[in-house]
Amino acid sequence: MSWEHVPGYFSEMEAFGETTVRIDRPRIADAALHMRDAEGFNMLSDVSAADYLGWGEVGVAGYWGAPNGRDANAPGSWGLAKSPEPKPTRFAVSYHLLAIPEARRIRLQVWCEDGESVPTVVPVWPTADWHEREAFDLMGIVFEGHPNLVRILMDEDWEGHPLRKDYPIGGEPVRFSEAE
Amino acid sequence: MATTTDHAISALTGHPKIYEGSRIPHPTPTILQVPDDLRGDDDILEINFGPNHPSTHGVLRLVVSLDGEDVVGLKAVIGYLHTGFEKTMEQKTWWKAITYPTRMDYLSFQQNEICFVMAIEKLLEVEPPPKAQWMRTLLSELARIHSHLVWLGTAGLELGAISIFWYAFRERDLILDLFEMVTGVRMHTRYVQTGGLAEDIPPGFAAECRKFIDVMPKRIDEYETLLSNNIIFLERTKGIGHLSAEDAVALGQSGPMIRASGVDWDIRKAEPYLVYDQVDFDVPVYQEGDVYARYKVHMDEMRESVRIVHQCLEAMPEGPWILDDRRFVLPPRSELHTSMESLIHHFKLVTEGYRVPEGEVYQVFESSRGELGCYLVSDGGPRPWRVRFRAPSFVALEATATCLSNSLIADMIAIAASLDPVMGDVDR
């Protein structure tokens, strides 16, 4: 089935039995409304954000053990067998939709860079409230139009967004780790 | 871009499907605002309920505004148990990360573990042997009974029914004994491996498990005589904490929450996984949407789980408990003493881990408290790039403001308990 008629349609992909429809970032709220009212996806299961900083590159930051991160090519390292497909931008936000009772699922996906905001879908599915707050808290993605976009899991005065790949692991410095 | 967003929201006012007749607060769906005519009133008392309060099932904090006995404002504050499991799992190999999901929802640990491993198997595009499938089904149903028993005991305790707590924990202990027999530990078992189970089912397990499922239906009857005909319990649970079917769907509720609101939705029936398409069971649905309906759903689900466990024991096939796929399965222990290659292979799998093909999947699982989702991103390496759990308790707590609107402070405990939050699952 083609999803070209969805507002803001960019591309679609089938993998592992799941459909992913990529939507233009500014039009995600329109697409969400269309999916809910015209396609019957009455429930939003989940909103997941992912950070692709350093995807497939040498020296991915935020890894325990090596100051330079992991080396994808060094022999004996925990590197990759082959380089993965490049990603369009740094962040992806995935909306997992569900249609009850037909049991259909689909994933809407938008891509953004650091500092770009994503329109909120809270008016479409109220359950997005906390999911978007969590994505903001842990990944630093700003949802434009969200009624109460504040931290949810971390302290209110916390600095940084812990699930980002450039967020340091460990928290406390390890002695002699710099002295190699 | 601003114009597009404005357009989307204005379009919504033309489609007032969600907010017409809905009890979901507006504009923030999870915060009950004090009404304008009461704001600034000296009689409004703001109370911090928690985070350390025995009746909140952990470290849930409810900021409640009270007008006399009436709850007029409410905000749920979470995050006190945030341990960063998702971040930690990105640093571990796939193999080692399996220990973490069990610590999230610490009442239905087997289910989290199976869900995570099923997501890895989806990326690897492998299917475990039948024996592993049936055993996973059996374990996840035992975990459901275990979780519901703890819920029943603590929820009853909060309403002053102390005896139910002792009865429920007596049976819970029997289940933990069964887990100990199979896996060697009572909680956080880590029995499930990619491709199957870590070890064969021990001899004598079927007999012990039969003893339990023979006794369990009578025990559930006992609970029902203690509570279902108890006038105090009925008075304190009927007609409070109402959640309509439309609101439940809009708030993303699942599991016992949505079935108590009259929506016939169970992932085990609608999107069967493991061997749920081969076992016979019913999905209890109640229309009332109140605390009592949630109690009834929990009780009926325990009976259905006993039925499923019985069928699993009857149908448990013989044969291997794990795939013979050396890409990600450890070589058998006996080979390590005779084969150098197996020893090297074992070492490599444990230290370096196995590689999982590049891609992203969302695996769903009907856990004790609803839809458990596991979103995985792999870059083709031996460690997950991104792990995210869609925690059913997290979503259930989003309904606090809706369920608690127009309620009394005395009912708040019963309503919060009926949402069945496990704070480890909420905060991860």
Do residues A124 and A29 make contact, with C-beta atoms less than 8 angstroms apart? yes
Dig out the tokens for A175 from the structure. 């002695």
**Cα dihedral: B141, B122, B257, B210 (round 10):** 0
Q: Check pLDDT > 90 for residue B158.
A: no
**By the CB < 8 Å criterion, does A174 face chain B?**
no
The terminus-to-terminus CA distance of chain B in angstroms comes to: 34
Q: Check pLDDT > 70 for residue B414.
A: yes
**By the CB < 8 Å criterion, does A84 face chain B?**
yes
Say what the pLDDT of residue B374 is: 94
Three-state SS annotation for A88-131: CCCEEEEEEEEECCCCEEEEEEEEECCCCEEECCCCCCCCHHHH
Of A140-149, B28-37, B244-253, B400-409, which gets the smallest average pLDDT? B28-37
Q: Measured between alpha carbons, how far is A98 from A40 in angstroms, rounded to an integer?
A: 9
Confidence of residue B356 (pLDDT cuts 50, 70, 90): confident
Say what the pLDDT of residue B410 is: 86
Q: Is B302 exposed, middle or buried (0-12, 13-18, 19+ CB in 10 A)?
A: buried
Q: Check pLDDT > 70 for residue B8.
A: no
Q: Which residues of A touch B125 (CB under 8 A)?
A: 16
Q: Measured between alpha carbons, how far is B220 from B216 in angstroms, rounded to an integer?
A: 6
Partner-chain residue, chosen from B24, B385, B386, that has the shortest CB–CB distance to A126 = B24
Confidence of residue A53 (pLDDT cuts 50, 70, 90): confident
Say what the pLDDT of residue B348 is: 82
Per-residue pLDDT, averaged over B370-380, amounts to 90
Residue type, position B344, single letter:
I
Q: Check pLDDT > 90 for residue A97.
A: yes
Confidence of residue B35 (pLDDT cuts 50, 70, 90): confident
Residue pLDDT, tens place only, B280-294: 999 999 998 899 999
**By the CB < 8 Å criterion, does B18 face chain A?**
yes
Record: contact A100-B24, CB cut-off 8 A: no
Dig out the tokens for B183 from the structure. 């896996």
Partner-chain residue, chosen from A56, A101, A126, that has the shortest CB–CB distance to B29 = A126
Say what the pLDDT of residue B300 is: 93
Q: What pTM did the predictor assign?
A: 0.89
**B256 to A151, B3, B140, B194, B326: CA distances (angstroms):** 28, 40, 16, 29, 40
Do residues B26 and B389 make contact, with C-beta atoms less than 8 angstroms apart? no
**B235 to A61, B162, B222: CA distances (angstroms):** 58, 17, 20
Say what the pLDDT of residue A171 is: 54
Do residues B255 and B121 make contact, with C-beta atoms less than 8 angstroms apart? no
Q: Which residues of B touch A20 (CB under 8 A)?
A: 360
Half-sphere exposure of B211 (CA within 13 A, CB side): 9
Residues 28-47 of B with CB under 8 A from A: 28-31
Residue pLDDT, tens place only, A110-152: 999 988 999 999 888 999 999 999 999 999 999 988 888 999 9
Q: Which residues of A touch B398 (CB under 8 A)?
A: 126-127, 129-130
Say what the pLDDT of residue B6 is: 40
**Residue A53, Cβ neighbours under 10 Å: how many?**
15
Record: contact B358-A84, CB cut-off 8 A: yes
Say what the pLDDT of residue A134 is: 93
**A115 to A20, A53, B56, B385, B408: CA distances (angstroms):** 24, 14, 37, 22, 44
Residue pLDDT, tens place only, B199-215: 899 999 999 999 999 99
Beta bridge partners of B236: none
Q: Which of A124, A133, A141, A155 to mutate to test the interface with B (most CBs of B within 10 A)?
A: A124
Tell me which long-range contacts B229-234 makes (C-beta under 8 A, separation of at least 24).
Answer: B230/B161, B232/B159, B232/B160, B232/B161, B233/B156, B233/B159, B233/B161, B234/B292
Closest residue of chain A to B399, computed from CA coordinates: A127
| Chain A: closest CA distance from residue B9 (Å) | 7
